A and B are shown apart, each in its own frame.
Chain A
Amino acid sequence: MKSPDSLSGHPFHNLRLRIRLPFFRTLGLLAAVLLQAGALPAEDPHQPRNIEGRRGMVVAAHPLAAEAGMAMLQLGGNAVDAALATAFALNVVEPFASGLGGGGFMVIHLAEGNKTTVINFREKAPQASFPEMFLEEGKPSRRLQTAHGLSVGVPGAPAGWDYALKTYGTRTLKDVIEKAIRYAEEGFTVSPTFSRINKDEYEKLLLNSGEESVYLNNGFPYEPGDTFRNPELAETLRIMADGGVEEFYTGLIAEKIASAVRGHGGLLTLSDLAAYNVREEPPLYGQYKNLTIATCQPPGAGGLHVIQLLNMLESRDVKKWGPNSTEYIHFFSEALRFVFADRARWMGDPQEVTVPVKALIGKKHAAAVAGRIQPDRILGSYPPADFPETEHEKTSTTHLCVVDRWGNIVSLTQSIESFFGSGIVPEGTGFLLNNQLGDFADSTCSPNAPGPNRRPVSSMGPMIVFQDKTPFLVLGSPGGTRIFSTLGQILINVVEFGMNMDEAIEAPRFFSYSVEGAPRPIHYESRIPSEALDRLMALGHSLEKRSPYDRYFGGAQGILIRADKNLLIGGADSRRDGHGLGY
């Protein structure tokens, strides 16, 4: 096996070769000088830029993570190997969004045997969890839900990654961790995205890991251009590379996790860590026109909600409405409000409660809801669906996409919940623990109330979309409850509005929801034309303006598979540090 340093076909390697030539060096220096002097316009990071490839592609939330995945593909690894190399690298270079201390969902499509499967490595509540655990003086406490030991669920990422690798990968854990260790040791340049999020979460980091935190630079947030190194994380990864994930769940790392959580008032024990289990599940399928969407089952609810939205949109001539039109934004927002009502009423961990999945994604339910949406006004009230008992059934956040030369595909969304998770870093480990249990409902009567070993409902919805049974689109996004709105809009941008992959991702977004049946404002990116906004207000919507490219709406990644042209077209979201590589 070649080492990553000997990647003769690696695109970055070629770049290094080229700039050794005197002419290019001179040109490069001149460009740098002119840029600094302001003589050349800086490149617009939001300009849609499709990534193209024919053999394989990786798109992820950071250039170095995409590089780790691409290196694995070029070394002959398959899509699963590359996805895991990317996932481990993301823990280092985008540590505030996902990592060892979190969990997620992975949709895998294997070309051989045409099999699609889902790996659920969502965090679990500790055995000692109970419905009232987040109440303070009888009221739900945001502090307990987000920045306290109680918010920490049993991490599933290491177990999920290991399971996927052993079941569907071709490389060893050591192989897929290698690049991540190097990034952690050598460091990388902090981007404006990293710095901004680091500043936003400063209070939580001070509270839970102190001024000496590895995620602070001598007690202050990192600034753009600083170098971030994480030698403690490098050491943790090395321990796992040598000793396996058992080190994380039953070894010294486990002891540090339990100690840190309990030190911050949490419930998690060594037994909870040792008992963590990954679930492999069949995908949840939905249909929109000639497209089949394969996504994860609840408690990963994002995909289910995308299917609900698409079902409702199917009854309307969305193409005629066009992007950013009043009609489209109005209908989509009203549909979202109904989806949120269903979510609050029905969503929970299907291992613990009954979730009427089939009824929720049924065309009949969608038609009933779509029929209620009025073109000339907002409804103002959005009750959840009520399904007869016979229809009930017991079934069961950063995003990256990989396609390999054999046609295998991975769509992986993973999270530590809030940016910088709970802010708790087990001593000497260099990774952040999630605050995923904050995803449980406030109400102790909710199907999504906290309970022993339950997995909280998630908005994650990694998906692979098939067109006439052929893989067509790989898609996913972070963004909390904005995920399914974002994914639905990107899908419609591609399928109905004919946009290319990155154009669809960079297009202006909006979002709305309902709380206890009452409508909330439409949050919108300020690029949406004012005429459309004026008309929305006339229909009764209240509006909340966001920045032109706002992280609030997520950071999607996608790959469009043009089988007819033997072409992969990737898009990576500029709202964060999305990046892709194809070959």
Chain B
Amino acid sequence: MKKYLILCLLLSPVVFSSLLGTAEDVRFDQPALITSAGQAAEVHLANVLFKRAGLTATLNKTAEAADLEGHKTLILVLGVSLKGLGAAGIDAGHEKKRVESLLLAADEQSIPILCLHLGGEARRGDLSDQMIKTCLPHAAAVLVVKDGNKDGLFTAICRNHNIPLIEVEKTVYALEPLKNYFRQDRRP
């Protein structure tokens, strides 16, 4: 039986949290503005992660460019949910415009953007992928729950734009990388 177990272990993929990029040259500052890019429920996950990390952040699911005032980082939680869009009373086109104006404003004000994709494989699909492709090139860093990057979409975009990418096995494992990104002793 032992040999079977050893064989299984040798052939199994890594099952613990893995850091693909060290992202040592990126640092974010507080307070952060957390908003959704697609109105998926994961925006609330990001808010709880920030709270648990002891970081100061404002949650505004439908933040506009003016809401960036007073914030030093923009957190974009990626993932389109038709249900979420419906609940917010907006359609996908309206949401894309809102996010694009926010990206533009953040770039103009030199506010760094941290993109999070916490919904895994289930939060992919045509609409979500369009949003990911729109937002990612503007990011200073990207953090994804691993099975959302099974097809390597995040890896490819981040490689092309030289953006550090962190993959975590589960949402809860995003806590430490987040704390790390906001550490004051990090190189700016």
A contact set with B: CB distance below 8 Å: 26, 29, 32-33, 36-37, 142, 192, 195-196, 199-203, 206, 211, 217-221, 223-224, 545-547, 552
Contacts and interface: CB of A to CB of B under 8 A. Distances in A.
Contacts of A552: 82
Given A199-B119, A219-B48, A29 B41 contact: no
A37 B11 contact: yes
B44 A202 contact: yes
Nearest to A523: B82
Contacts of A202: 41-42, 44-45
Which one of B4, B8, B41, B126 has the greatest number of beta carbons of chain A within 10 Å? B41
Interface string B1-24: 000100110011100000000000
Contacts of A203: 41, 44
Contacts of B66: none
A217 B125 CA distance: 26
A36 B5 CA distance: 13
6 contacts: A33-B7, A142-B87, A199-B119, A202-B45, A546-B82, A552-B82
Nearest to B89: A142
A200 B8 contact: no
A546 B125 CA distance: 10
Nearest to B172: A220
Contact of B172 (A196, A218, A546, A547): A218
Shortest 6 CB-CB contacts between residues of A and residues of B = A196-B122, A203-B44, A202-B41, A37-B11, A223-B170, A29-B4
B8 A29 contact: yes
Interface of B: 4, 7-8, 11-13, 40-42, 44-45, 48, 52, 81-83, 87, 119-123, 125-126, 170-172
Contacts of A36: 8, 11-13
Contacts, number: 58
B11 A221 contact: no
Interface SS majority for chain B: helix
Contacts of B52: 219
Contact of B11 (A33, A211, A224): A33
B139 to A, nearest CB: 22
B125 A200 contact: no
A206 B44 contact: yes
B83 A200 contact: yes
Given A32-B8, A33-B7, A36-B13, A223 B41 contact: no
A506 B131 CA distance: 29
Contact of B81 (A37, A192, A200, A217): A200
A29 B42 CA distance: 37
A478 B121 CA distance: 24
Nearest to A526: B126
A224 B150 CA distance: 15
A223 B172 CA distance: 10
B12 A206 contact: no
Contacts of B171: 220-221, 223
A582 B108 CA distance: 64
Contacts of B7: 29, 33
Contacts of A192: 121-122
Contacts of B170: 223
B51 to A, nearest CB: 9
A200 B11 contact: no
Nearest to B61: A203
B10 to A, nearest CB: 9
Contacts of B126: 545
Contacts of A546: 82
A43 B45 CA distance: 31
